[in-house]
Structure 1
Amino acid sequence: MKNTADILLYCGVAVAATYLVTEFIAVPFPAVAIWKAAGIILFGLYALWNGARIAATGLLFSAAGDIALALPEPNFIAGMAFFGTAHILYTLAFWHLIRQQGRDPQGLPVLPGLLAYSVLALVWFLPGMGDLLIPGLAYQAIITLMVVTSFFSNAPLSAKIGAVLFMLSDTLIAFGLYRDMTAPPGSIWLTYAAAQFLLALGLVQARNQPVAP
């Protein structure tokens, strides 16, 4: 059983890694959307196989967000809605861990820096948000809550790094969306795929770690 779950995880890594070639070659729709979502779906199946149902659902919502952004005319509102839902689910997974294991005091010193980063990014992007102002503000609040909750929890470091990488990936997307700046080739996908891998791995590990008496 465990070997099957590991195969799903490793296949997800392989599929996500190969998707990088789409930065350099044109892949038609719908193949590009299927390819983009496939690795994240495999991460979701890995989490589901290990009983981490909330994390698995978050990963599957993320895959839906990937498809929304891979459409010939990317639907950013739908993408934000899918990814926002995924972040809410990740937050619930971290909160469930807090209820089981209590808070992690070692994460507290990191929180001011995370909040400052979120606020400064918002101030930087605010002038260019235009019609995406309301969904953009809501999304920023949701992902910030997810990252903060991860550091309040006793989740493995891998899950916390994954949460931070997700915020970094979204920042790189926002450079193009709100500031008309181009991120380095491959940087958005690398940070995003690594984030999802680490969240899947860490939240599965968190589910299987002993419950504090």
Structure 2
Amino acid sequence: MTASVAKPQVALPLLTLISATVAILALSQPPQLPQGLGFVFKPLTTLLILFYALRRGSDQPRLARWLRAGLLCSLVGDIALLWPEQGFLPGLVSFLVAHVCYVVGFCTQVRAGAVRWPFLMFGVIAATVLGSLWAHVPAELRAPVVVYVLALSGMAAQAWAWWRRRVGQADEPRARWAAWGGTLFVLSDAMLAIHKFAGPMEMASFWVLASYWPAQWCIASSLRAPASMRMAA
């Protein structure tokens, strides 16, 4: 691997990790760093993942376009949720659109519902979590929360459908990245929902963000790396 290729391959994940760490420490309760840093490094971390996605997928324009759009919507949601109360509904809508973008993107690789059991699996998970929290969800938020949960679980299920349909094929590793990303997203949002609706969860910011950004990185990694990186690896 040449030095010119190795540097960005190492530098971008390292910068993303540093940015995520600063954001988590600044947004934790109690904050371990000045809280104002969270307002900078939280969106910066997602921006770095978007930049990572922009450097990949040149030979998959439809998938790349939809996944990048999802990351951009996620960035809007990240900014909105810096104000947890006032920004919750705008953030929910932003991430809802992000999941729709991801679903459409994954459907460019395999038809919707190509493998059915992941939809059953994530449907059961979603119903279990939502059912346990339902009594704590304010009436005015119940409809948008249900729509969001359907989009989230559908996104994860379609990612798994792509993976399971591609087992043994050349793009299986990329599909596996998408499946892990969808799974981590479900985990992150489940913890966020428990913290918001069922009562404070200890170290909530750490657990939510420490699964959220790996989820986004995994989804971005489902885009094929540039040929120069593949040849140099």
TM over 0.5: yes
**Offset, 1:117:** 0.6
Match of 1:16 in 2: 20
Counterpart-to-counterpart distance in 1, 2:226 and 2:97: 20
Match of 2:108 in 1: 96
Higher helix share: 1
**Offset, 1:70:** 0.7
CA deviation map 1:123-149 (0-9, x unaligned): 111111112111111111111111111
1:46 is aligned with what amino acid? Y
Give the secondary-structure state (helix, strand or coil) at the position aligned to 2:81: helix
Match of 1:196 in 2: 216
Match of 2:72 in 1: 60
**Offset, 1:168:** 0.8
Match of 1:175 in 2: 194
**Offset, 1:90:** 0.9
Tell me how large the CA RMSD over aligned residues is.
2.6
Range moving further from structure 2, 187-196 or 155-164: 155-164
Compute the TM-score of the two structures, normalised by the length of structure 2: 0.76
| Consecutive unaligned residues in structure 2, runs of 5 or more | 59-63, 164-173, 228-233
Match of 1:151 in 2: 160
Counterpart-to-counterpart distance in 2, 1:71 and 1:33: 10
Q: Percent identity?
A: 23
Structure 1 residues 151 and 118 mapped into 2: Cα distance closer, same or farther (>3 Å)?
same
Larger Rg: 2
The answer to whether the 8 Å contact 2:184/2:212 transfers is: yes
| Equivalent residues, number | 202
2:22 is aligned with what amino acid? T
The answer to whether the 8 Å contact 1:61/1:83 transfers is: yes
Counterpart-to-counterpart distance in 1, 2:129 and 2:225: 30
1:54 is aligned with what amino acid? W
1:43 aligns with 2:52: no
Match of 2:143 in 1: 134
The answer to whether the 8 Å contact 1:5/1:46 transfers is: no
| Consecutive unaligned residues in structure 1, runs of 5 or more | 209-213
